[in-house]
Copies of this chain bind each other. A is one copy, B any other.
């Protein structure tokens, strides 16, 4: 998997390698069940190295989460440039989100499952990821919606993020639900609401 000689590599490269392995292991076993010894062995290095680089097990988790968040941010922000309406921007953003979580299951698994550490930096870190999304949506909508009632606007953004996060988890169980299909479901409900489907 890695390079030939398993010895002495520069700090930056080792760091990326450690995060890659950790993301894998945390994603497979879950944070609690993963052991630092195992991760160290898979990296091909001794445990104190992990602590040298990340200070603690949670620090390592944080690094993984930050990485995933950066990737998600990049993907969603890029997706909405050039949108010509709120509806269009929302649709593009949703599609980018659903594509991201399908393509990077491991990373997504971390973001969605590892909320155990309430009151710890990791929990804050995950909330930060959501805040990023809600901020994006709030900003997006403020340009197109009546934004007098800021509390309501914020509530709406939270609502959208929660709905899509849950929908994404649900999608994992149905491979036939493509990102496109998921986006359609979400857009229909978000835009027109449930009333459209009442008999």
Which residue of chain B lies nearest to A162 when distances are taken between CB atoms in the complex? B166
Asked whether, in the complex, the Cβ of B158 is within 8 Å of the Cβ of A160, the reply is no
State which of A15-23, A76-84, A149-157 sits at the interface with chain B. A149-157
Known: A30-B118, A145-B198, A194-B190. A167 touches B158 (CB 8 A): yes
Cβ proximity bits A140-154 to B, threshold 8 Å, 1 near / 0 not: 010011100001101
Asked if A2 is at the interface (CB within 8 A of a chain B CB), the reply is no
The copy count of this chain in the complex is 2
Contact of A197 among B32, B119, B145 (CB under 8 A): B145
Contact of A119 among B30, B116, B152, B163 (CB under 8 A): B30
Q: In the assembly, what is the distance between CA of A161 and CA of B169, in Å?
A: 12
What are the residues of chain B within 8 A of A118 when measuring CB–CB? 30, 109, 113-114
Known: A30-B120, A146-B199. A166 touches B156 (CB 8 A): no
Asked if A177 is at the interface (CB within 8 A of a chain B CB), the reply is yes
Asked whether, in the complex, the Cβ of B192 is within 8 Å of the Cβ of A170, the reply is no
Interface size of A in residues (CB-CB distance below 8 Å): 56
Interface of A (DSSP majority class): helix
Q: In the assembly, what is the distance between CA of A32 and CA of B166, in Å?
A: 24
Contact of A170 among B31, B155, B186, B190 (CB under 8 A): B155
Q: In the assembly, what is the distance between CA of A167 and CA of B177, in Å?
A: 25
The B-contacting residues of A in range 94-110, CB under 8 angstroms, are 109
Asked if A9 is at the interface (CB within 8 A of a chain B CB), the reply is no
Q: In the assembly, what is the distance between CA of A53 and CA of B33, in Å?
A: 24
What are the residues of chain B within 8 A of A113 when measuring CB–CB? 115-116, 118, 123
Asked if A49 is at the interface (CB within 8 A of a chain B CB), the reply is no
What are the residues of chain B within 8 A of A195 when measuring CB–CB? 87, 191-193
